[in-house]
Amino acid sequence: MTEWVPEGVDVTAPNAARAYDFALGGFHNFEVDRQFVTEAARIWPEVIELAHVNRAFLGRAVRWLVDAGIRQFLDIGSGIPTLGNVHEVAQDVAPDCRVAYVDLDPVAVAHAQRILRDDPRSVAVRADLRDPASILGHRDVVGLLDLAEPTAVLMVAVLHFIEDDAEPPRIIREISDALVGGSFLAISHGVPALGTLAGQAAVSQMYRRTPTAFRPRPVAQITGWLDGWEPVAPGIVPINGWRPEPDECGAAPVAAVGVVARKQPDGVIRTDYPPPTGQTPY
């Protein structure tokens, strides 16, 4: 586990980035984060599986986006670098892919900057999704990505850490306005866990100890944010049902949905995407 603490980091309170890192089996977390995840898993046992399933969704979405022709990614709420980072997945398929990582958490950003120091095609910056202009206008992001070209903006497992009063629909609109037609959004978001609503609610309460809330939302609310975006098949579905690999098919739906959606060039509706494989959409 990490011994190195970037300046100004509070190691006495858990946080979402480090808790997720621990749930995924990573090493950049502190005792307080490990206790937090252990306690959360006691009251909502699916929480660790959910982290792994979410990471797998991210990987499939990135591979699909590269196949769809995308060569630049803005990964917001990117987390602490772990297995299957976006630049690794994307550059494995197309080495010319560029990736700008953005996170609020200084540990996540510091580790990403260390890992990326020899990669001229990737940057990591500290910024807040609640202020999209600070991301879209960030010198390092502007220096790497050309938003006049189609871009994939990834907001994977981050919007459920944004409170309603920070206006997720506004955030998506402001990002959307900065992108050209043919760009994509990939989102995953926690939804009410019908089998264990009480456990999930207790974990949401636990997040009050962290700097960010955890706010699962109904699918209809998340869908409502996608005005002007066309979800590619299979639409907005439980993340483990979004184009699963053959060995991932048949699992019970988890309590998070995912979607990849395309911003339409004016008046054009594209219908020639590759068909989804595996599982029937939920």
Ligand X SMILES: C[S@@+](CC[C@H](N)C(=O)[O-])C[C@H]1O[C@@H](n2cnc3c(N)ncnc32)[C@H](O)[C@@H]1O
Check residue 46 for interaction with ligand X (CB under 6 A). no
State which of residues 40, 61, 100, 157 lies at the interface with ligand X (CB under 6 A): 157
Residue type at 166? A
Q: Is the dihedral of CA 60, 66, 69, 70 positive or negative?
A: positive
- Find the shortest distance in angstroms from Cβ 208 to ligand X: 14
Least Cβ distance, residue 158 to ligand X (angstroms): 4
Cα-flanking dihedrals φ and ψ of residue 238, to 5°? -50, 140
Place of tokens 């299957």: 84
Q: Is residue 187 within the footprint of ligand X (CB under 6 A)?
A: no
Q: What are phi and psi of 266, to 5 degrees?
A: -45, 120
**Using CB under 6 A, which of 36, 64, 161, 229 touches ligand X?**
161
Q: Report 97-116 residues binding ligand X (CB under 6 A).
A: 103-105, 108
Calculate helix-pair angle for 16-23, 47-67, nearest 10 degrees: 90
Q: Give all strands (DSSP E) within 112-177, no chain letters.
A: 122-126, 152-156
Q: Does 122 bind ligand X (CB under 6 A)?
A: no
Residue sitting closest to ligand X (CB) = 79
Q: Which amino acid is at 74?
A: L
d(CA 37, CA 22): 8
Identify which of residues 210 and 280 has a Cβ nearer to ligand X in the complex. Answer: 210
**Hunting for tokens 């049902």 — which residue is that?**
241
Under rule CB under 6 A, residue 61 binds ligand X: no
Q: Is 16 in the site for ligand X (CB under 6 A)?
A: yes
Q: Is 158 in the site for ligand X (CB under 6 A)?
A: yes
For the chain, the C-alpha Rg in angstroms (whole number) is 18
Determine, following the binding rule CB under 6 A, whether residue 63 of this chain makes contact with ligand X.
no
d(CA 71, CA 214): 31
141 binds ligand X (CB under 6 A): no
Q: What residues form DSSP beta bridges with 230?
A: 262
- Per-residue mark of binding to ligand X, 204-223 (x: CB under 6 A): --------x-----------
Beta carbon nearer to ligand X, 200 or 212: 212
Can you tell me which of 130, 147, 174, 273 binds ligand X, judged by CB under 6 A?
130
Q: Does 276 bind ligand X (CB under 6 A)?
A: no
Q: How many CA atoms lie within 13 A of 149 on its CB side?
A: 12
53 scored as a contact of ligand X (CB under 6 A):
no
The span from the first CA to the last CA of the chain, in angstroms, equals 38
The contact set with ligand X (CB under 6 A) reads 16-17, 20, 54-55, 58, 76-79, 103-105, 108, 128-130, 156-158, 161-162, 212
